[in-house]
Structure 1
């Protein structure tokens, strides 16, 4: 099948590479010359396990191509996917300007029937707006369908998620579009039927509801962790106790320093804004967002409880900068909030991340330039002489460090564990002062 995908961000690039891997002819469209040059050479501008080799392989065999010519890419395409950004506005609502601009451009270039797919995360009712934008721009009388097909990809496991999906949600009322989408996703459903068809509005809502539910689990567990701290209970025992209930499960109930990334914060805000637009007060979603914002500051509060409010002359080693392991994505990363909070109180920070150093340099440039933050080239260089270590992202290389080396290198044996990765009793027996979340 011939596909065109507009947008080579996280979603567009993973989607394009995976469809090409399954034998489709895929053309990805972008207007960034520098990015296109990297992609045409078989490289990728983001870190995602397994993606670079897949892109390179399919570029080499001709299944995957990249262009800035949207009109040419639309010609003869059976499916055209819109995968451009929908950043939050000042009020939290999703900005659809790029989506609708692409829809108008597709309409102007369309010469034969195609299924136009909204892959971007968009508010309920966007498929109708896309349909109107395409129809208003048609240069000739041609039929088309608009379908909602949200992505459910986890950064750090996106390729595997796409190639072996839990489910594929398709929103359409058109039998013709349904047949096309069934054929497109057939290679991903060979072991069991994974396609779930519904209306476009239900599909759009499913995406937001899924992310909001996962965000709710995280914020709920962080709320319980904060309560445990005040009651003298260990949240890790509580987590095991409730996670063993099959109705709850262990996924997304790990307490920590809040969620970040490109999806959960943006999607919860957008859903809250959507609720407001129809006069509905989303009490649970507002609480989820408020708890997460507060949770990102919790570790700095614990630091202040130990060292006092004035951190002048103190230095902190920080392990992990990306919002989660398996990605270099720094968007809404709790580590940024922690660093800014420490620096605001007079501290200096030395930080290390195995893949996010380039992104971190860009986000922290001002603090690097004024000497408040140093990015080191090794995890142990980040702890030399520091007053404490902070674990912000649970990369596997940080799971079982050389604690004897830490004891020698650090100025003081204090560890703030923002992900509850370490055994408190073992560390305390080794002479460390340990502080976790809800422990």
Structure 2
């Protein structure tokens, strides 16, 4: 099938590459010429395991192309995926300007029937706005208003495992209209996703608004579990309990399960913060407060400061002339995504208290440097106190303590003899509970986890 992907960011690239892998002819559009130049020269502007190799393979086979040509992109695909960014607006709502702009471009150039697929995470009612924008442009050119049918097909990709998630999905959600055009669009989507349903049916068909809400509901539920466990971990610190034992005790209940029950420094990235905020904003627009989600947001923001509080409790509020090694910058492992990353808050707070920071991340350091340049804009002296090095051990030299923020596999089993030799004092603040407190005690490490009791 001939498919166009509008937007060559995280969702668009993964979607385009994976659909090409199934034999489809995919045209990826992006209006950023720098990004397209990177892709056409063999690079990939984001880090995602397995994605670069898949793109190379399908470009070589002629099934995947990248361009800034809007007219060509509309002409190419019978199915047009809108996978552009929906950044949070100042009030927390999703900014739909790029989605609507993409829809208008389709309306300006479409001359044959098109299925328009909202792949971007968008609030309930966005499909109506997309449909209205397309119809307005079609009418200007005297084209039939039912030339295009809008479908909601939200993505459920975990950063760091997105290719695997797309190729072996838990579920595929497709929302369509009950009109004749909508039924035709449903059949097109059934054909497109047929290879992913060979062993068993994974697709859930529903109305458009239900599909739009399903995406937000899923992310809100997962975010709630994380904030819930972080609150329990903070309580465990106060009462002397071990949150890891609690996690195992409640996770063994089949009604609860183990997923997303790990305590830490809070969630970040492109999905949970934005989607929880946008869902809460949508509810407020309809006169309803989602009190649980408002609490989830509040807990998560406070949790980003929890390691700083532990450091302050150990060393005092004035951290002048102190140096901290920081392992992990990305909001989670196997990605270079720094959006809403807890590391950004931790670094700023340590510097604010007079400390300097030496950081290492296996993948995210270039993106982290860009973000820190923005975070410290107007504070060049503060930025000078932050440096990055190419190995975890190099970050430790002469530091007063090690702070772990991201649970990269490379950090799970370090040479603790070397760690203790390089640090001024064997002190570890573990924001991801990578290590057992009892094992650290045996090694002579002064260890501070999240809700872990020695």
- Report the TM range for the smaller structure's normalisation: over 0.9
SS of the residue 1:394 aligns to: coil
Tell me the TM-score normalized by structure 2.
0.95
Query: Which of 405, 416, 419 is equivalent to 1:392?
Result: 405
SS in 2 for 1:81: strand
Cα distance between partner residues in 1 of 2:380 and 2:119: 37
1:341-366 C-alpha deviation (Å, 9 max, x unpaired): 11111111000000011011112234
Of residues 210, 220, 240, the one that matches 2:218 is: 210
Alpha-carbon distance between aligned partners in 1 of 2:371 and 2:389, rounded to the nearest angstrom: 15
Q: Is the counterpart of residue 350 in structure 1 residue 350 in structure 2?
A: no
**Alignment partner of 1:152: what SS?**
coil
2:433 — aligned with what?
420
- How many residue pairs get aligned? The number is 439
Matched, 1:236 2:238: no
Q: Distance in 1 between matches of 2:79 and 2:98?
A: 19
CA distance in 2, matches of 1:87, 1:201: 20
Unmatched 5+ stretches in structure 1: none
Q: How does 1:301-340 map to 2 (within 5 A)?
A: 301-340=309-348
Please state whether the residue corresponding to 1:28 is helix, strand or coil.
strand
The CA deviation at 1:60 is 1.0
State the superposition RMSD in angstroms: 1.0
1:132 partnered with 2:132 = yes
Distance, in Å, in 1 between the alignment partners of 2:91 and 2:339 is 18
Aligned equivalent of 1:72: 72
Task: Select the residue among 349, 368, 372 that pairs with 1:364.
Answer: 372
Aligned equivalent of 1:377: 390
| CA distance, structure 2, for counterparts of residue 140 and residue 74 of structure 1 | 17
How far apart are residue 140 of structure 1 and its match?
Answer: 3.5
Contact between 1:43 and 1:55, CA under 8 Å: does it hold in 2? no
Select the residue among 267, 278, 282 that pairs with 1:270.
Answer: 278
Other-structure match for 2:89: 89
Alignment of 1:141 with 2:149, yes or no, is: no
CA contact (8 A) 1:41 1:56 kept: no
Match of 2:209 in 1: 201
1:167 and 2:174 equivalent? no
Distance 2:76 2:265 in 1: 48
- Does structure 2 retain, via aligned residues, the 8 Å contact 1:317–1:383? yes
Question: For 1:336 and 1:436, how far apart are their aligned partners in 2?
Answer: 19
Please give the alpha-carbon distance, in whole angstroms, between the structure 2 residues aligned to 1:210 and 1:135: 31
**Residue 30 of structure 1: how far off its partner (Å):** 0.7
Where in structure 2 are the equivalents of 1:55-70 lying within 5 Å? 55-70=55-70
- State the Cα distance separating 1:141 from its structure 2 match: 2.1
How far residue 192 of structure 1 moved from its aligned partner, in angstroms, is 0.4
Moved more, 31-40 or 18-27: 31-40
For the residues of structure 2 that align with 1:70 and 1:248, how far apart are their CA atoms?
Answer: 47
Give the secondary structure class of the aligned counterpart of 2:447: strand
Deviation per CA, 1:93-150, whole angstroms, max 9, x where unpaired? 0000110011011001010111000100000000001000000001242421100000
Q: Distance in 2 between matches of 1:47 and 1:92?
A: 27
Secondary structure of the corresponding residue to residue 149 of structure 2: strand
Tell me if the contact between 2:127 and 2:150 (Cα under 8 Å) persists in the aligned partners: yes
User: In structure 1, what is the Cα distance between the partners aligned to 2:422 and 2:254?
Assistant: 44
Listed one character per residue, the Cα deviations across residues 59-91 of structure 1 (whole Å, up to 9, x for unaligned) are: 111100011111111115210010100100110
Quote the Cα distance in structure 2 between the aligned partners of 1:41 and 1:438: 47
Q: What pairs with 1:113-128 in structure 2 (closer than 5 Å)?
A: 113-128=113-128
Q: Would you say the 8 A contact 2:4–2:76 is kept in 1?
A: no
**What is the TM-score of this pair, normalised by structure 1?**
0.99
Contact 2:429–2:449, Cα closer than 8 Å, also in 1: yes
Instruction: Report the Cα distance in structure 2 between the residues aligned to 1:43 and 1:191, rounded to whole angstroms.
Output: 34
Where 2:45 maps in the other structure, the secondary structure is coil
**Structure 2 gap segments, 5+ residues each:** none
SS of residue in 2 equivalent to 1:364: helix
Matching of residues 186-197 of structure 1 within 5 Å: 186-197=194-205
> 1:381: how far off?
0.7
Aligned to 2:5: 5
CA contact (8 A) 2:5 2:82 kept: yes
Local SS of the residue matching 2:157: coil
Offset of residue 167 of structure 1: 0.5
